[in-house]
Structure 1
């Protein structure tokens, strides 16, 4: 991306920011590049769905299918990590009381 690309401010919930940071770190990208890549992946899938006729979906290329599956897996992994952290925080006081 270039510095001349369009820019705008974006407000996001803290948990989503954490998820983007984690995903960006895993993928070796900046948060900005991660957001752009995730949006592109979503729009690729939407384009395929939009161009389909009567339940006949245009097949994704093997590369796009793997990217979509990897993206979903990373998203779920990040969500599981956040849930695990919440559970650990919830039960932490009990550990210190024992």
Structure 2
């Protein structure tokens, strides 16, 4: 304590003293140093809006503009959330259609293969080659690279997803 520091008696609620004790312990300060630091912080950061002060950092019209902009931002955010829900619904519908089309293609492959010698050999070979790509139908979701593998199969590729997938 410096000789220029002033001592005085302070009466505060017990709960507030307990909070100050905890804060002092966690910041590794004495109780006195914690109280001084907290008081000093209140003077270092002036209030954002003080209606009684003519030198207020933010004028009332600026505050009203901020309030309007905040309301606009909230509406924009709500709109984005709403659009996100629409995109989610579209994705789920597309996922359901993908599963239905894949199920039909799988059933068609099984039908082709079940006719044995009554089907042209190249068609049977195609169905036999395509059938393993529908194993994901047993799972809840198609694999993430399903669309790319399907596109690769259409252009005569290997059907394998690229390494960077």
TM-score category by the smaller chain?
0.3 to 0.5
Bigger Rg, which one: 2
**Larger RCO of the pair (alpha carbons < 8 Å, separation 6+):** 1
